[in-house]
Amino acid sequence: MAVTVAPFLFRAGRTPLLVSMPHVGTHVPEDIAAALTEEALALPDTDWHVDRLYDFLDDLGASIIAATHSRYVVDLNRAPDGSDLYPGQDTTELCPTSGFFREPLYREARLPDQDEIARRVSARWQPYHTALAAELERLKAMHGVALLWDAHSIASEVPRFFSGRLPDLNLGTNRGASCDPDLANSVLSVAEAAPGYSAVLDGRFTGGYITRHYGRPAEGVHAIQLELSQRTYMAEGAPFTFRDDLAAALRPALRAMLEAVLDWARKSRA
């Protein structure tokens, strides 16, 4: 009997902050798994351990929404119509057919057709976004402002997407369109001050669909994406081991950035 897994996990918090983790999921339904290559079944492009890394969110009173299904099933950080987030630059699709190193994900002639893509959007993409939107609306109604932090990670070197080594802390605000500039600068200042880490704002990663779609500062909803270089907290090669020593060093910087977000919100409402 096929196992039914809910499309996301959710916990409501007590502050204006919602942390979204759209790429931490590792579940692949049996029918989809049967079509994937052995290499794809290792799920190398997962945002490994991000939920474990952010283990302090309850202390901050944050709401949390985290995907359960792999991005290979459907990518929650892509537009539902499949439109390109980065025109002129390489990227993966709504239902990816190749991995970050251009390796094919599907066995020969088993690619998802448009009906299958629509089914995945309806069953997994839409529930996540319905819940995310509802929580932002709740937070704004309760606090007068809603703060969305979209938490991601990626291997530090992926030539398909960027040359050389990625900075450690990659903040994205859709080039200033998804949040108040003072908020973005406050978080960037914390990131730049974190000892031992490099940081950039709106570099190679300016925020995906979630940041761009929900970040509406004029309406009181502010969104920031953080794309972490995975070398800051884990072993980047299989089996993608979590490094407690690295994570312990990184967590204070992550927490300080989120505390800066909440501090900005308190001051903006004063």
Could you give the angle at the alpha carbon of 78 between the alpha carbons of 75 and 82, nearest 5°?
105
Domains, the chain, in order of start with CATH, read 8-268 (3.40.630.40)
pLDDT at 109 over 80: no
223-249: pLDDT as tens digits: 999 999 999 999 999 999 999 999 999
Q: Measured between alpha carbons, how far is 50 from 59 in angstroms, rounded to an integer?
A: 17
Return all residues near 116 (Cβ < 8 A) that are at least 6 apart. 95
Return all residues near 265 (Cβ < 8 A) that are at least 6 apart. 15, 16, 17, 143, 145, 147
The pTM of this model reads 0.96
Q: Which helix (H) or strand (E) holds 226?
A: strand 221-229
Residue 84: pLDDT band with limits 50, 70, 90: confident
Res 88: pLDDT: 77
Residue 86: pLDDT band with limits 50, 70, 90: confident
Sheet holding 199-201, edge to edge: 8-11, 63-67, 17-21, 146-154, 221-229, 169-172, 199-201
Do residues 7 and 69 make contact, with C-beta atoms less than 8 angstroms apart? yes
Instruction: Find the length of the chain.
Output: 270
Return all residues near 43 (Cβ < 8 A) that are at least 6 apart. 26, 28, 70, 72
